[in-house]
Amino acid sequence: MKADLILIEEIKNGNTAVFAELVERHQKTIMKAALRITRDMVLAEDVVQESFIKAFQKLDSFEGRSSFKSWLYQITLNTARNKLRSTKKENVCIDHFILSVDDQIDAHLHRSSVFEMIKQEIDNLPEKQREAISLRVFDDMSFKEIAEVMNCPYDTAKANYRHALLKLKGKLEEHPEFKLMKEKGSYNINEQRGIFVEVES
């Protein structure tokens, strides 16, 4: 598989057909990001399509200082924000959230009041904190990548993530159901990996 930068060079040299390979390679993760921000499938599909069109049109300005993935994410976030402003959908449902980096997490958590509380608290976070924790937890990005996507210094990206996580942790530790889960050793909060990490099968 050719690296993104090699494909981009081919496109810049006139072989525009290989852009389809970049689309295929990144459309799933970009859709996840768009859906997470818009909370609306139709709107997310519009964001993804528009983001790839913008990326193709602006490809000559891509200098490779960051990864293509980070650059594309930045375009997607900006496009999604603009879509939300124009359609006034800031206060929509966030049932799409999957709040774990562990695929084996128990399904019952998704139905629990703890999960509902987390969704509400994430939605209430300031925009930059919400973006930072989403990119870290859902998209498994490094702080360097988050800084590139959010167009901010590394320390700022890390601080936004930490502030978001601490706010969520504080709210959760006041919640009786989460206290019970923690006492049983079922779940924990880990600053490095994300919000929930299963420690017991």
Looking at residue 110, the DSSP 8-state letter turns out to be G
CA dihedral 110, 113, 114, 116 (to 10 degrees): 70
How many structural domains is the chain composed of?
2
- pLDDT tens figures, 37-58: 888 888 999 999 999 999 999 9
Domain assignment present for 98: no
Report CA dihedral (38, 43, 46, 52) to the nearest 10 degrees: 10
Examine residue 97 and state whether it is found in any structural domain, yes or no: no
pLDDT 10s digits, 135-189:
887 778 889 989 988 889 999 999 999 998 888 888 777 766 666 666 655 555 5
Do 61 and 134 lie in one domain? The reply is no
Give the separation between CA 178 and CA 70, rounded to whole angstroms.
Answer: 34
Per-residue pLDDT, 100: 38
Query: Residue 77: which of 32, 40, 142 has the closest Cα?
Result: 32
111 and 194 within one domain: yes
> Which of 19, 52, 87 is a domain's end point?
87
Range of the structural domain that residue 75 is part of: 4-87
pTM above 0.85, yes or no: no
Task: Assess if residue 92 is contained within a domain.
Answer: no
130-144 residue pLDDT tens: 888 888 877 788 899
Q: Please check whether residues 13 and 73 belong to one and the same domain.
A: yes
